[in-house]
Structure 1
Amino acid sequence: MSGMGIRMVTAVASAIRSAGKSLDKAGANMEVAKYSEKLVPSTRFVAVDGVAPRVAEYGTFVAPSASVIGDVTIGRNSSIWYGSTVRGDVNTVTIGERTAIMDRAVIHVAKIQGDLPTNIGNNVTVGAGALIHAATVKDLCVIGESAQVLDGAVVESNSIVDIGAVVTPGTVVPGGELWAGAPAKKIRELTAEEIASIPQKARDALELASMHAVENSKDYAQVLEEEDWIDFLEDTQEDDPHRTPPPGDIDDIQGMGHPGRIFNSTLTHPEEGIKK
């Protein structure tokens, strides 16, 4: 297809897309009952026996795909990330301030084999895929990815449970130590630098959670408005005869173009790959 033909197809496609958006907005204005459409219907918070989770209003981020169930209390500036489950259905779960429960982690409690809640302190980072079951993790701890802290175990302050470690039921991890293995055992004392890195991990998670909270709070209308602005700016730049492309496209990924777009590459135009 010639360059002129490509420009014509692009122009027609842009016009059709704009017309579709206009029709959608006109239909929304004609509706009798106004509503704000959310990107993801929230099923994050579930009450059990009339007890609903209590989440601090200030700075707390709970991802749309996370589940917080039953008698759960979450402190300020804490975050529950994508795919995580915090389940206080048969006992209580308490999570302190500036604590991050990362992606796909599971926080649960015990009733049948002992009446044990789960308590997680302040400035704790629970890694992706980790399990904390009816245990206590005190302030300033790191629980590594896919690690397990099981019934009645206690992890004292300023401790690190390594990736994939299994802290068996009733075990106490003293403060200032690194534990690893299955079952987990003391490996060594933590260095001063490692202890200083524990609150920094919590701060990094809080900063990242703030960004995700802003994006997840947008409704459908806000997203459409932002897309309109992006289209307007791109059209303005393309019409500017004095515009020169930058030496390198920082959004380009391994020569495959922008993420989320139809790439102008040998993947979508295989004939380009066989040209000599």
Structure 2
Amino acid sequence: MRFEHLGTVPRVHAEAVVAPTAVISGDVTVSVGCQILHGAVITSEGSPITIGEHTIVMENAIIRASAVHAAHIGSHVLVGPMASVSGAVVDDEVYLATGSRVVNGAHVGRGSLVRTNAVVHLRTVVPENTVVPLGWVAIGDPVQLLPADEAEAISAVHAELDFPGFVFGLDRSAPDYMVQLTERYGAALARHALDRRVDG
């Protein structure tokens, strides 16, 4: 299913294959030879998404761009089932395994492997040909690779990266932080009420 969002219609190359249950919304470019499988969601929330040649987005994967963070997926990339990329850059020939996450402002270098359930965190730069181990967290620039059970070390770097400030422009210490977040984000998402299906 393809939807016009904020006046922009997805551009899907004639030699790309999109499953009928996949959703592509807004300013999205899908290049030649791509395969977008069942249940995948590719949604632009105000910034563009580009997907390079011969990239595969598997079942129930999510690729999204926010109003301030575009998303770019390079060529010959495999985005595994239930993986997600949000407002980040993924270079060519990267494998994002099942359930992996790449968060806003991150950059995954060419030829890297982000294994099952691993996370590439906010504003993190993963150099070329890096392996992020199964369930581990890549965080920071320069990157640190940490097992998920090192929560204290991850939290220390995470605090410096300021997720709510970077992604939502909010101060987490504000007493009404969640009120501000849900109302602001909800208002932005409500723009989908005006979306129009463009593929019949």
Structure having the higher helix fraction is 1
Structure 2: segments with no counterpart, 5+ residues: 139-143, 147-200
Q: Which has the higher Rg, Structure 1 or Structure 2? A: 1
Deviation at 1:139, TM superposition (A): 0.4
Other-structure match for 1:97: 53
Within 2, Cα distance between the matches of 1:177 and 1:132?
17
Deviation at 1:50, TM superposition (A): 1.9
Deviation at 1:182, TM superposition (A): 4.0
1:72 matches 2:28:
yes
Deviation at 1:183, TM superposition (A): 2.2
Within 2, Cα distance between the matches of 1:110 and 1:122?
22
Other-structure match for 1:157: 110
- The answer (yes or no) to whether the contact 2:136–2:145 under 8 Å persists in 1 is no
- The answer (yes or no) to whether the contact 2:88–2:102 under 8 Å persists in 1 is yes
Within 2, Cα distance between the matches of 1:122 and 1:175?
15
1:183 matches 2:137:
yes
Within 1, Cα distance between the matches of 2:73 and 2:28?
11
The structure, 1 or 2, with the larger RCO (C-alpha pairs under 8 Å, 6+ apart) is 2
TM-score, normalisation: structure 2: 0.68
Within 2, Cα distance between the matches of 1:49 and 1:156?
31
Number of residue equivalences: 140
Q: Pairwise CA RMSD of aligned residues?
A: 1.3
Other-structure match for 1:49: 6
Q: Which amino acid aligns with 2:137?
A: P
Structure 1: segments with no counterpart, 5+ residues: 1-43, 188-276
Q: Percent identity?
A: 33
Runs of 4+ in 1 over 4 A off after TM superposition: none
- The answer (yes or no) to whether the contact 1:178–1:186 under 8 Å persists in 2 is no
Deviations 1:27-86, CA, capped at 9 Å, x for gaps:
xxxxxxxxxxxxxxxxx100012210001112x110010000000000000011100100
TM-score, normalisation: structure 1: 0.49
